[in-house]
Amino acid sequence: MSDKSKDYSALLDPAVVSKLKTLELKAKYVVEGFMVGHHKSPYHGFSAEFSEHRPYNQGDPIRNIDWKAYAKTERFYIKQFEDETNLISHIILDSSASMNFKRAGSISKFEYGKILAASLSYLLINQQDAVGFTLFSDALNVYLPPKANRVYLKEILTKVNNARPGEKTSTEKCLVEVARKIKKKGLIVIISDFFDDLDSIITALKLFHYKKNEVIVFQILDDAEIDFSFYKDSVFVDMETAEELTTQPYQIQKSYQTAMKEFLSNLSNQCLNHGIDYNLITTTTPFDKALFSYFRKRSKMN
């Protein structure tokens, strides 16, 4: 791997990416960093079946990637003189108040979600695929139907960039409303902390799957929400209801961890049982994990 590709790989660290100036620049560097960093050994194990291909090189149009080749080799190849298009995708981002949580020195769940949504939009439109964007909390705050052109990418990135968290959550109501708007099957990407009633969440996700969409969810959490790593006497405030709880964290840490583990396991298992790809991502996780999950799903759909 070249020094330049190593530089790009470093930019997949959320703490580094968040310091870049514009959302479009963040999206571009996340996607290009992943493409260059992931494509390490071009022809290892490559069969004669793909003799008309060449390795992906930095700067190649992403739309020319051959997904059948990727599915077999997990490497990026360009099938010369052939473009692939036609995927319809909906990127759905949770903007409820709980998404604004962060620990000192880290980015919030919402900021992570915005960068991930922007990166996927950048990637999809550069593949000449159609992408739409939805922002929800207790209502649909933004709904952009899927389109496949570069001018539309600017509109999506503007909406993502201007998004602000700050409302309560009505996950089922909002996702059902989106599902009813979708007329053609495609890929549904949902980015949320999923802090809502589990049964209602699954009901909504099943509706997407019932309508023959492929669904991939990214549950974005702060590390502290998983391990409850608080040590001093604290006042905990519900970011959506303003309800307060004063406690010594060590007294409830074990019970909290058990309850959180059960919640995450139930959500993961329910998704698995209904053919939905589930990914747990923390705000310290490099963006390549999320993009790899997308590429894996995309290759299965080809």
**Pick from 90, 258, 74, 100: which is nearest to 164 by CA?**
100
Strands 234-237 and 130-136: unpaired
Lookup: tokens for 98: 């709980």
pLDDT of 42 = 35
Are 150 and 29 within one domain? no
Structural domains counted in the chain: 2
Are 47 and 28 within one domain? yes
CB 39 within 8 A of CB 77: no
Compare 141 and 246 and report the one with higher pLDDT: 141
Are 296 and 265 within one domain? yes
pLDDT of 158 = 97
What does the DSSP 8-state code read for residue 99? G
Are 224 and 114 within one domain? yes
Lookup: tokens for 286: 């490099």
Calpha distance 79→289 (Å, rounded): 25
CB 113 within 8 A of CB 93: yes
Lookup: tokens for 221: 């959490």
CB 250 within 8 A of CB 233: no
- Helix (H) or strand (E) holding 192, with range, is strand 187-192
What's the distance, Cα to Cα, between the start and end of the chain in Å?
A: 29
Compare 51 and 65 and report the one with higher pLDDT: 65
Residue 50: partners with Cβ closer than 8 Å, 6 or more residues away: 66, 69, 77, 79
| pLDDT, average across residues 42-64 | 57
Strands 130-136 and 88-94: parallel
Are 157 and 73 within one domain? no
**292 phi and psi, to 5 degrees?**
-65, -40
Are 60 and 180 within one domain? no
Are 212 and 286 within one domain? yes
- The predicted-structure confidence for 195-228, as pLDDT tens digits, reads as follows 999 999 999 999 999 999 999 999 999 988 887 6
Compare 32 and 253 and report the one with higher pLDDT: 32
Distances (CA, A) of 118 to 30, 191, 217: 10, 12, 16
pLDDT of 147 = 93
**Pick from 87, 93, 187: which is nearest to 147 by CA?**
87
Are 155 and 188 within one domain? yes
Are 197 and 269 within one domain? yes
| pLDDT, average across residues 180-194 | 95
CB 50 within 8 A of CB 69: yes
Q: Which domain holds residue 189?
A: 88-301
CATH number at residue 222: 3.40.50.410
**For residue 8, pLDDT beyond 60:** no
- Helix (H) or strand (E) holding 138, with range, is none
Calpha distance 195→253 (Å, rounded): 18
**Pick from 146, 151, 28: which is nearest to 86 by CA?**
146
| pLDDT, average across residues 257-276 | 94
pLDDT of 282 = 94
Are 138 and 236 within one domain? yes
Indicate the SS3 state at residue 156: helix
CB 87 within 8 A of CB 130: yes
| Domain boundary residue, one of 17, 48, 79 | 79
Distances (CA, A) of 182 to 87, 90, 291: 14, 9, 24
| Domain boundary residue, one of 22, 53, 79 | 79
Are 22 and 171 within one domain? no
**For residue 45, pLDDT beyond 50:** no
Question: Residue 82's pLDDT band (boundaries 50, 70, 90)?
Answer: very low
Are 187 and 221 within one domain? yes
